[in-house]
Amino acid sequence: MTLGLTDATKTYISKLANYGPYRYLEISNFAFGSELVDLDRAVWEVRRYCTLNEELHRVKLRHGFTVPRIRIPDGCLEKIIDGPTAPAREVLVWQNGFFGNRARKGAWLKVWMKAHNAPLSLNPHILDEVLKYVYLPKDVVDAYRKLEKK
């Protein structure tokens, strides 16, 4: 079975796969405000396959077109959306073009960018001292050893 994900979602998931394992600033990273939309889209696209409903699996997604309005029967997010007093409802539907009771033509997001330099990328010479206290994956250690030699 193929998931039939859009190219935008494939790109976003690939980025998560590249940066996801490094939660504790082992490597430098960056993020843009528009990635909130990418996350919403990825969740919406992938969760169609978290159900046995074959009809939802056949929904075709097309880049640049409004997403079809579908609901997962007895879905957790649908229950939150339908419960006006649910504590998570407001943050789930805020500026979310993929979840909510009404179709949105757009969302207003602040434009921002955030980047972090990993301390080891700025000071690779402290790697041996850091390794006395912290576990780092072999590929990260090897990369910093190469950087230290430059």
pLDDT, position 105 = 63
Q: Is the pLDDT of residue 133 over 70?
A: yes
- Residue 51 vs residues 55, 56, 94: alpha-carbon distances, Å: 10, 8, 25
Residue pair 45/61 in contact (Cβ under 8 Å)? The answer is: yes
Q: Is the pLDDT of residue 141 over 90?
A: yes
Which residues 6+ apart lie within 8 Å of 64 measured at CB? none
pLDDT tens digit string along 39-96? Answer: 888 888 888 777 777 777 777 777 777 667 677 888 888 888 888 888 998 888 877 7
Residue showing tokens 């394992």: 21
What are the extents of the domains in the chain?
7-116, 122-150
pLDDT, position 14 = 92
Amino acid at 102: R
Question: What is the C-alpha to C-alpha distance for residues 116 and 91, in angstroms, rounded to an integer?
Answer: 26
pLDDT, position 108 = 67
pLDDT > 90: percent of the chain? 23
Q: How far is CA 3 from the centre of its chain?
A: 17
Average pLDDT, the chain: 82
Q: Could you tell me the pLDDT band of residue 8, with boundaries at 50, 70 and 90? A: confident
Say how many residues make up the chain.
Answer: 150
- Residue 83 vs residues 69, 90, 101: alpha-carbon distances, Å: 18, 10, 11
Q: Is the pLDDT of residue 106 over 70?
A: no
